[in-house]
Structure 1
Protein backbone atom coordinates (compact mmCIF):
# COMPACT_ATOMS: atom_id res chain seq x y z
CA UNK A 1 0.00 0.00 0.00
CA UNK A 2 2.80 2.38 0.91
CA UNK A 3 4.53 1.77 -2.43
CA UNK A 4 1.44 3.11 -4.22
CA UNK A 5 2.17 6.56 -2.81
CA UNK A 6 5.62 6.43 -4.38
CA UNK A 7 5.03 4.57 -7.64
CA UNK A 8 2.05 6.57 -8.93
CA UNK A 9 3.69 10.01 -8.48
CA UNK A 10 6.92 8.70 -10.02
CA UNK A 11 4.95 7.48 -13.05
CA UNK A 12 3.27 10.87 -13.29
CA UNK A 13 6.70 12.55 -13.14
CA UNK A 14 7.90 10.26 -15.94
CA UNK A 15 4.93 11.28 -18.12
CA UNK A 16 5.61 14.96 -17.36
CA UNK A 17 9.30 14.58 -18.30
CA UNK A 18 8.19 12.95 -21.56
CA UNK A 19 5.98 16.01 -22.14
CA UNK A 20 8.89 18.37 -21.43
CA UNK A 21 11.09 16.52 -23.92
CA UNK A 22 8.39 16.68 -26.62
CA UNK A 23 7.72 20.39 -26.05
CA UNK A 24 11.42 21.28 -26.21
CA UNK A 25 12.00 19.03 -29.25
CA UNK A 26 9.11 20.61 -31.16
CA UNK A 27 10.21 24.13 -30.23
CA UNK A 28 13.78 23.46 -31.38
CA UNK A 29 12.55 21.89 -34.63
CA UNK A 30 10.32 24.85 -35.52
CA UNK A 31 12.92 27.44 -34.47
CA UNK A 32 15.58 25.57 -36.46
CA UNK A 33 13.42 25.65 -39.57
CA UNK A 34 12.83 29.39 -39.16
CA UNK A 35 16.50 30.11 -38.46
CA UNK A 36 17.85 28.04 -41.35
CA UNK A 37 16.87 30.69 -43.87
CA UNK A 38 15.70 28.03 -46.34
CA UNK A 39 12.24 28.61 -47.72
CA UNK A 40 10.26 27.13 -50.54
CA UNK A 41 6.91 27.64 -52.14
CA UNK A 42 4.59 24.90 -50.95
CA UNK A 43 1.04 23.90 -51.69
CA UNK A 44 -1.63 22.81 -49.26
CA UNK A 45 -2.80 19.43 -50.51
CA UNK A 46 -5.39 18.65 -47.88
CA UNK A 47 -7.00 19.99 -44.72
CA UNK A 48 -8.89 18.00 -42.15
CA UNK A 49 -9.88 18.11 -38.51
CA UNK A 50 -9.62 15.59 -35.74
CA UNK A 51 -11.62 15.59 -32.54
CA UNK A 52 -10.91 14.00 -29.22
CA UNK A 53 -12.88 13.75 -26.03
CA UNK A 54 -16.62 13.75 -25.73
CA UNK A 55 -18.95 12.02 -23.37
CA UNK A 56 -18.09 13.43 -19.97
CA UNK A 57 -14.89 15.17 -21.13
CA UNK A 58 -14.37 18.37 -23.08
CA UNK A 59 -14.23 17.99 -26.85
CA UNK A 60 -11.06 19.26 -28.51
CA UNK A 61 -10.72 19.86 -32.24
CA UNK A 62 -7.42 20.18 -34.12
CA UNK A 63 -7.00 21.46 -37.66
CA UNK A 64 -4.42 19.58 -39.76
CA UNK A 65 -2.82 20.58 -43.06
CA UNK A 66 -0.88 18.40 -45.49
CA UNK A 67 1.69 20.36 -47.48
CA UNK A 68 4.05 19.52 -50.31
CA UNK A 69 7.09 21.44 -51.52
CA UNK A 70 10.28 20.94 -53.50
CA UNK A 71 13.66 21.59 -51.88
CA UNK A 72 16.47 23.46 -53.62
CA UNK A 73 18.02 20.09 -54.45
CA UNK A 74 14.84 19.06 -56.29
CA UNK A 75 13.53 16.63 -53.66
CA UNK A 76 9.75 16.62 -53.26
CA UNK A 77 8.71 16.58 -49.60
CA UNK A 78 5.27 16.09 -48.13
CA UNK A 79 4.56 16.83 -44.48
CA UNK A 80 1.64 17.26 -42.14
CA UNK A 81 1.23 20.01 -39.57
CA UNK A 82 -1.28 20.54 -36.79
CA UNK A 83 -2.94 23.76 -35.70
CA UNK A 84 -2.27 25.75 -38.82
CA UNK A 85 -4.30 28.80 -39.80
CA UNK A 86 -7.95 28.16 -40.52
CA UNK A 87 -7.71 30.44 -43.55
CA UNK A 88 -5.35 28.06 -45.41
CA UNK A 89 -7.40 25.85 -47.73
CA UNK A 90 -6.61 23.06 -50.15
CA UNK A 91 -4.73 24.39 -53.16
CA UNK A 92 -3.38 27.47 -51.38
CA UNK A 93 0.26 28.43 -51.88
CA UNK A 94 2.25 28.86 -48.65
CA UNK A 95 5.82 29.66 -47.67
CA UNK A 96 7.51 26.63 -46.14
CA UNK A 97 10.51 26.93 -43.81
CA UNK A 98 12.81 23.91 -43.59
CA UNK A 99 16.33 22.77 -42.77
CA UNK A 100 18.62 21.20 -45.35
CA UNK A 101 19.30 18.21 -43.07
CA UNK A 102 15.66 17.37 -42.34
CA UNK A 103 13.30 18.94 -44.87
CA UNK A 104 10.54 16.56 -43.75
CA UNK A 105 10.46 18.49 -40.45
CA UNK A 106 9.38 21.67 -42.21
CA UNK A 107 6.81 24.16 -41.01
CA UNK A 108 4.40 26.39 -42.82
CA UNK A 109 3.85 28.53 -39.73
CA UNK A 110 5.07 32.09 -40.23
CA UNK A 111 8.01 32.98 -37.97
CA UNK A 112 6.72 34.10 -34.58
CA UNK A 113 9.63 33.61 -32.20
CA UNK A 114 7.98 35.44 -29.30
CA UNK A 115 4.84 33.35 -29.57
CA UNK A 116 6.89 30.16 -29.77
CA UNK A 117 8.97 31.16 -26.74
CA UNK A 118 5.87 32.12 -24.75
CA UNK A 119 4.09 28.88 -25.57
CA UNK A 120 7.14 26.79 -24.78
CA UNK A 121 7.76 28.72 -21.56
CA UNK A 122 4.17 28.31 -20.38
CA UNK A 123 4.25 24.58 -21.08
CA UNK A 124 7.57 24.21 -19.22
CA UNK A 125 6.23 26.17 -16.23
CA UNK A 126 3.14 23.94 -16.17
CA UNK A 127 5.24 20.78 -16.24
CA UNK A 128 7.60 22.22 -13.62
CA UNK A 129 4.74 22.98 -11.23
CA UNK A 130 3.26 19.54 -11.87
CA UNK A 131 6.58 17.79 -11.16
CA UNK A 132 7.11 19.92 -8.04
CA UNK A 133 3.65 18.96 -6.78
CA UNK A 134 4.45 15.27 -7.31
CA UNK A 135 7.78 15.56 -5.46
CA UNK A 136 6.13 17.39 -2.54
CA UNK A 137 3.42 14.72 -2.46
CA UNK A 138 6.07 11.98 -2.23
CA UNK A 139 7.86 13.84 0.57
CA UNK A 140 4.66 14.38 2.55
CA UNK A 141 3.63 10.74 2.05
CA UNK A 142 7.06 9.60 3.23
CA UNK A 143 6.85 11.72 6.39
CA UNK A 144 3.29 10.55 7.01
CA UNK A 145 4.30 6.89 6.82
CA UNK A 146 7.32 7.55 9.03
CA UNK A 147 5.12 9.32 11.58
CA UNK A 148 2.55 6.49 11.52
CA UNK A 149 5.34 3.97 11.99
CA UNK A 150 6.16 5.53 15.36
CA UNK A 151 2.71 4.54 16.64
CA UNK A 152 2.54 1.03 15.22
CA UNK A 153 3.84 -1.89 17.28
Structure 2
Protein backbone atom coordinates (compact mmCIF):
# COMPACT_ATOMS: atom_id res chain seq x y z
CA UNK A 1 0.00 0.00 0.00
CA UNK A 2 2.85 2.34 0.84
CA UNK A 3 4.40 1.85 -2.59
CA UNK A 4 1.17 3.04 -4.22
CA UNK A 5 1.59 6.42 -2.53
CA UNK A 6 4.88 6.81 -4.39
CA UNK A 7 3.89 5.05 -7.60
CA UNK A 8 0.86 7.20 -8.45
CA UNK A 9 2.60 10.60 -8.21
CA UNK A 10 5.66 9.11 -9.90
CA UNK A 11 3.60 7.99 -12.88
CA UNK A 12 1.78 11.31 -13.06
CA UNK A 13 5.06 13.25 -12.90
CA UNK A 14 6.60 10.99 -15.57
CA UNK A 15 3.61 11.62 -17.84
CA UNK A 16 3.96 15.36 -17.28
CA UNK A 17 7.69 15.28 -18.10
CA UNK A 18 6.95 13.38 -21.33
CA UNK A 19 4.25 15.93 -22.11
CA UNK A 20 6.70 18.80 -21.65
CA UNK A 21 9.21 17.11 -23.96
CA UNK A 22 6.53 16.57 -26.63
CA UNK A 23 5.29 20.17 -26.35
CA UNK A 24 8.76 21.61 -26.74
CA UNK A 25 9.63 19.29 -29.64
CA UNK A 26 6.40 20.21 -31.45
CA UNK A 27 6.95 23.94 -30.90
CA UNK A 28 10.55 23.76 -32.14
CA UNK A 29 9.49 21.75 -35.19
CA UNK A 30 6.71 24.22 -36.02
CA UNK A 31 9.03 27.20 -35.55
CA UNK A 32 11.70 25.60 -37.75
CA UNK A 33 9.11 24.83 -40.42
CA UNK A 34 7.94 28.45 -40.42
CA UNK A 35 11.51 29.79 -40.58
CA UNK A 36 13.19 27.36 -42.97
CA UNK A 37 10.41 25.39 -44.61
CA UNK A 38 9.54 25.19 -48.26
CA UNK A 39 6.12 26.33 -49.41
CA UNK A 40 3.62 24.59 -51.63
CA UNK A 41 0.05 25.20 -52.64
CA UNK A 42 -2.25 22.95 -50.69
CA UNK A 43 -5.94 22.30 -50.70
CA UNK A 44 -8.32 21.79 -47.82
CA UNK A 45 -10.04 18.46 -48.36
CA UNK A 46 -12.27 18.44 -45.31
CA UNK A 47 -13.01 20.17 -42.04
CA UNK A 48 -14.52 18.55 -38.98
CA UNK A 49 -15.07 19.31 -35.34
CA UNK A 50 -14.28 17.00 -32.43
CA UNK A 51 -16.23 17.57 -29.27
CA UNK A 52 -15.35 16.39 -25.81
CA UNK A 53 -16.94 16.71 -22.42
CA UNK A 54 -20.62 16.77 -21.75
CA UNK A 55 -22.77 15.44 -18.93
CA UNK A 56 -21.40 17.37 -15.93
CA UNK A 57 -18.38 18.80 -17.81
CA UNK A 58 -18.26 21.72 -20.20
CA UNK A 59 -18.43 20.77 -23.86
CA UNK A 60 -15.33 21.73 -25.85
CA UNK A 61 -15.04 21.75 -29.63
CA UNK A 62 -11.81 21.49 -31.59
CA UNK A 63 -11.67 22.39 -35.29
CA UNK A 64 -9.63 20.09 -37.54
CA UNK A 65 -8.63 20.53 -41.18
CA UNK A 66 -7.47 17.84 -43.58
CA UNK A 67 -5.05 19.21 -46.17
CA UNK A 68 -3.34 17.75 -49.20
CA UNK A 69 -0.30 19.12 -51.01
CA UNK A 70 2.38 18.05 -53.45
CA UNK A 71 6.08 18.57 -52.70
CA UNK A 72 8.53 19.95 -55.23
CA UNK A 73 9.67 16.35 -55.84
CA UNK A 74 6.11 15.40 -56.83
CA UNK A 75 5.17 13.42 -53.71
CA UNK A 76 1.62 13.92 -52.48
CA UNK A 77 0.92 14.20 -48.75
CA UNK A 78 -2.19 14.53 -46.62
CA UNK A 79 -2.22 15.75 -43.07
CA UNK A 80 -4.71 16.59 -40.36
CA UNK A 81 -4.15 19.82 -38.44
CA UNK A 82 -5.79 21.18 -35.31
CA UNK A 83 -6.60 24.82 -34.76
CA UNK A 84 -6.48 26.27 -38.22
CA UNK A 85 -8.37 29.28 -39.56
CA UNK A 86 -12.11 28.73 -39.08
CA UNK A 87 -12.85 30.49 -42.39
CA UNK A 88 -11.01 27.80 -44.39
CA UNK A 89 -13.48 25.27 -45.80
CA UNK A 90 -13.22 22.23 -48.05
CA UNK A 91 -11.96 23.20 -51.49
CA UNK A 92 -10.03 26.29 -50.37
CA UNK A 93 -6.40 26.68 -51.45
CA UNK A 94 -3.84 27.39 -48.71
CA UNK A 95 -0.10 27.87 -48.35
CA UNK A 96 1.50 24.79 -46.82
CA UNK A 97 4.94 24.93 -45.23
CA UNK A 98 7.04 21.80 -44.88
CA UNK A 99 10.62 20.74 -44.27
CA UNK A 100 12.25 18.99 -47.23
CA UNK A 101 13.57 16.21 -44.97
CA UNK A 102 10.18 15.69 -43.22
CA UNK A 103 7.36 16.56 -45.64
CA UNK A 104 4.85 14.61 -43.52
CA UNK A 105 5.24 17.25 -40.76
CA UNK A 106 3.63 20.03 -42.77
CA UNK A 107 1.58 22.93 -41.47
CA UNK A 108 -0.92 25.30 -43.00
CA UNK A 109 -0.94 27.55 -39.93
CA UNK A 110 0.19 31.11 -40.54
CA UNK A 111 3.44 31.98 -38.71
CA UNK A 112 2.61 33.35 -35.25
CA UNK A 113 5.72 32.92 -33.13
CA UNK A 114 4.41 34.93 -30.19
CA UNK A 115 1.27 32.85 -29.98
CA UNK A 116 3.32 29.65 -30.27
CA UNK A 117 5.67 30.73 -27.46
CA UNK A 118 2.83 31.86 -25.18
CA UNK A 119 0.74 28.74 -25.75
CA UNK A 120 3.66 26.38 -25.28
CA UNK A 121 4.92 28.33 -22.28
CA UNK A 122 1.53 28.24 -20.55
CA UNK A 123 1.23 24.49 -21.00
CA UNK A 124 4.81 23.90 -19.84
CA UNK A 125 4.16 25.99 -16.71
CA UNK A 126 0.96 24.05 -15.99
CA UNK A 127 2.74 20.70 -16.37
CA UNK A 128 5.64 22.02 -14.28
CA UNK A 129 3.23 22.86 -11.46
CA UNK A 130 1.82 19.34 -11.72
CA UNK A 131 5.34 17.88 -11.46
CA UNK A 132 6.17 20.03 -8.43
CA UNK A 133 2.87 19.01 -6.83
CA UNK A 134 3.66 15.33 -7.35
CA UNK A 135 7.13 15.74 -5.85
CA UNK A 136 5.78 17.68 -2.87
CA UNK A 137 3.12 15.02 -2.31
CA UNK A 138 5.73 12.24 -2.34
CA UNK A 139 8.01 14.19 0.04
CA UNK A 140 5.11 14.92 2.39
CA UNK A 141 4.04 11.27 2.42
CA UNK A 142 7.61 10.17 3.04
CA UNK A 143 8.14 12.59 5.92
CA UNK A 144 4.81 11.60 7.51
CA UNK A 145 5.79 7.93 7.65
TM-score class, shorter = over 0.9
**1:83 aligned partner:** 83
2:137 aligned partner: 137
TM-score scaled by length of structure 2: 0.95
Match of 2:114 in 1: 114
Give the secondary structure class of the aligned counterpart of 2:87: coil
Distance 1:38 1:133 in 2: 42
Instruction: Please give the secondary structure, in 1, of the residue aligned with 2:58.
Output: strand
Q: Which SS does the other structure have where 2:64 is aligned?
A: strand
Superposed CA deviations along residues 41-75 of structure 1, whole A, max 9, x for unmatched, are 11101001111121122222111101011111111
Structure 1 stretches of at least 4 aligned residues deviating more than 2 Å after TM superposition: none
Q: Distance in 2 between matches of 1:84 and 1:58?
A: 22
Written as runs of structure 1 = structure 2, the 5 A alignment for 1:1-153 is: 1-145=1-145
RMSD: 1.1
TM-score (ref. length: structure 1): 0.90
Local SS of the residue matching 1:139: helix
* Unmatched 5+ stretches in structure 2: none
Q: Deviations over 1:8-55 (max 9, x none)?
A: 100110111121122112112211211224111111010011111211
